[in-house]
Chains A and B, each alone.
Chain A
Amino acid sequence: MAKRIDLKDVDIYYGAFHAVQSVNLTVAPRSVTAFIGPSGCGKSTVLRTLNRMHEEIPGARVDGQILLDGENIYDRSADAVAVRRTIGMVFQMPNPFPTMSIRDNVVAGLRLQGVKDKKKLDEVAEASLRGANLWNEVKDRLDKPGGGISGGQQQRLCIARAIAVQPDVLLMDEPCSALDPISTLAIEDLIADLKKEYTIVIVTHNMQQAARVSDQTGFFNLEATGKPGHLVEIDDTEKIFSNPTEQATEDYISGRFG
């Protein structure tokens, strides 16, 4: 199920603007990788290239190779839709589909991919909601609108929706930045559970969170506004937060800038 990701000399552009410069990194299967760094350093941009969401922005393009278990997802023959079925994503703002009930939100991916078997959809809905630690809170109101639950529950609903299509990789773009500490804790516990089955990449502004949930941490930085962002270093989380190789990383995590 879970797959390994390799980035080789990845350069990312928005039109003429060079956003991120030559990123090389590897994400092991069944692990959590956190991206940290100051705003505008390109960590979200890198995350969005991992499931080809980046190309939805007009003028955006990617150079270099992004390999999923050795297959280049930017290969000419690779279908972006198929790539995204394999690599799911959870966004910063909880965004359940407003026209759908809680159950329909969870199975939206399957249903719109053509699965019609109601019994199977119900099973997947329950399994995914259990997987997202939300089942007990919403099991009595599965037919209520997805927008009617709290922000933290909505975010877990979005995670349930993402895992319902059984991706190999789960990308999370600051999934807790709009949530209170208790909901954040619930999501962090969930990430620890999901790690058993999925490869997870998470972007976060919260360094304690990176330290708590991740196995390896990548620090991104940019030299100045307008210059491309780059990966300063990536290493075991423990090492990054105790004894980083680069001075810039040490400065950032000790709060001296950023």
Chain B
Amino acid sequence: MSTALEAPDQPASSPPFQPISTARRLKNTSATVLVALAFLIACVPLVWILVEVVIRGAGAIFSADWWGRSQSGVNPEEYAGGVYHAIYGTIIQALLCGVIAVPIGILAAIYLVEYGRGRLAKTTSFMVDILSGVPSIVAALFIFALFVSILGAEQSAFMVSLALVLLMLPVVIRNTEEMLRLVPDRLRESAYALGIPKWKTILRIVLPTALSGTVTGVMLAFARVIGETAPVLVLVGYARAINYDPFEGNMASLPLLMFSEFSNPEPAGQFRIWGAALTLILIVMIFQLGASVISRFSAIQK
């Protein structure tokens, strides 16, 4: 009471909340700055590459024949022709690879999550881990040794697709597995409780629930294999003209075109390399945009 009388304009007790101390404020600010700095540093190479490729490649991709002509009959020093033969090659090789790898990958993931118990599942899972660590050149050489050297197949775009399958499979399996494991067990149980057989539960309840993430993963796996260079270097020859047949003859692809133009001393070679690089980035970007559109489209409505 007496305290209050002596200093009537002071609060009787100290306020319940203290202001943040200078030391804490300092720590907070420096941590924030460090984190932001790390983010900026991580962005530098990405932005740098993008800007460089866009500046150097824009001229090529806006040139008249870029999207509609091949390099057939174009001299090394000419700023002419286009890359549609290489775009076709890149896409057809990725698609053939997907036709093989996506069903196998999804089925393998279903096995691992829904059925796999015991040794076979453990072995499969272990093999997938190993496969995901295999460098692309090793996959390419394996296909070369098995199909070309031993079985006597001709080098062709299809051989490239087979090598890409080895690279795409673990990505599809791991991602699909992840998505299937996210589906809560209680959904499976309530389907069983309705007298729905297991295979139908997987097909009609589990897969639709995991669809959005699975599709996204498949699209990203495409983006991952589409720029692979080692398989095209080992397993197919470069062709300057369009070749529609993936099972026979040489076929261009964007990485292979870039590699072959690299030995072209003329400035036109550089022009085509940067153009092809930008084209490749655009294709990958389209795949990723497609992935996000599809995942939004197939996402579960609330």
Q: Which of A90-137 contact B (CB under 8 A)?
A: 91, 93, 95, 97-99, 108-109, 112-113
User: In the complex the two chains form, is A95's CB within 8 Å of B196's CB?
Assistant: no
Query: Within 8 Å of chain B (Cβ to Cβ): is A3?
Result: no
Q: Which of A43-84 contact B (CB under 8 A)?
A: 51, 53, 56, 58, 81-82, 84
When C-beta atoms are compared, the residue in chain B nearest to A109 turns out to be B194
Q: What is the distance, in angstroms, from B235's C-beta to the closest C-beta of chain A?
A: 41
A161 contact set on B, CB distance < 8 A:
190, 194
User: In the complex the two chains form, is B189's CB within 8 Å of A108's CB?
Assistant: no
A108 contact set on B, CB distance < 8 A:
191, 194, 196, 205
Whole-angstrom CA separation of A89 from B208 in the bound complex = 23
Whole-angstrom CA separation of A88 from B300 in the bound complex = 26
Query: Within 8 Å of chain A (Cβ to Cβ): is B156?
Result: no
Q: Which of A86, A91, A145, A148 contacts B190 (CB 8 A)?
A: A91
Q: What is the distance, in angstroms, from B286's C-beta to the closest C-beta of chain A?
A: 27
Q: Which of A84, A95, A162 contacts B186 (CB 8 A)?
A: A95
Q: How many inter-chain contacts with C-beta < 8 Å in the A-B complex?
A: 76
A147 contact set on B, CB distance < 8 A:
300, 302
User: In the complex the two chains form, is A145's CB within 8 Å of B189's CB?
Assistant: no
Query: Within 8 Å of chain B (Cβ to Cβ): is A18?
Result: no
Q: Which of A143-172 contact B (CB under 8 A)?
A: 145, 147-148, 158, 161-162, 165
Query: Within 8 Å of chain B (Cβ to Cβ): is A85?
Result: yes
Whole-angstrom CA separation of A119 from B136 in the bound complex = 56
Question: Considering only CB atoms and an 8 Å cut-off, how many residues of chain B contact the other chain?
Answer: 24
User: In the complex the two chains form, is B190's CB within 8 Å of A58's CB?
Assistant: no
A86 contact set on B, CB distance < 8 A:
195
Q: Which of B191, B192, B193, B209 contacts A98 (CB 8 A)?
A: B209
B208 contact set on A, CB distance < 8 A:
99
B192 contact set on A, CB distance < 8 A:
53, 56, 81, 84
Query: Within 8 Å of chain A (Cβ to Cβ): is B204?
Result: yes
Evaluate whether A84 and B301 lie within 8 angstroms (CB atoms) in the complex, with A95-B184, A98-B209, A112-B200 already known.
no
B184 contact set on A, CB distance < 8 A:
95
Q: What is the distance, in angstroms, from A42's C-beta to the closest C-beta of chain B?
A: 18
Question: Considering only CB atoms and an 8 Å cut-off, how many residues of chain A contact the other chain?
Answer: 28
When C-beta atoms are compared, the residue in chain B nearest to A161 turns out to be B194
Q: Which of B187, B188, B194, B209 contacts A112 (CB 8 A)?
A: B194
Q: Which of A95, A112, A165 contacts B204 (CB 8 A)?
A: A112
Query: Within 8 Å of chain A (Cβ to Cβ): is B25?
Result: no
Whole-angstrom CA separation of A85 from B209 in the bound complex = 23
Q: What is the distance, in angstroms, from B71's C-beta to the closest C-beta of chain A?
A: 48
Q: What is the distance, in angstroms, from A164's C-beta to the closest C-beta of chain B?
A: 8
B209 contact set on A, CB distance < 8 A:
97-99
Whole-angstrom CA separation of A91 from B187 in the bound complex = 10
User: In the complex the two chains form, is B300's CB within 8 Å of A98's CB?
Assistant: yes
Q: Which of B266-302 contact A (CB under 8 A)?
A: 300-302
Q: What is the distance, in angstroms, from B208's C-beta to the closest C-beta of chain A?
A: 4
In the complex, besides A56-B189, A109-B195, 9 extra interface pairs with C-beta distance below 8 angstroms are A56-B188, A56-B192, A81-B197, A84-B193, A84-B194, A85-B195, A98-B300, A99-B205, A108-B205
Q: List 21 A-B contacts (CB under 8 A).
A: A53-B193, A56-B192, A58-B117, A81-B195, A81-B196, A85-B195, A86-B195, A89-B189, A89-B193, A91-B186, A91-B189, A95-B190, A97-B190, A98-B187, A98-B209, A99-B211, A109-B196, A112-B204, A148-B302, A165-B194, A165-B195
Q: Which residues of A contact B (CB under 8 A)?
A: 51, 53, 56, 58, 81-82, 84-86, 88-89, 91, 93, 95, 97-99, 108-109, 112-113, 145, 147-148, 158, 161-162, 165
**Top-5 shortest CB links A-B:** A85-B195, A109-B194, A89-B193, A99-B208, A84-B195
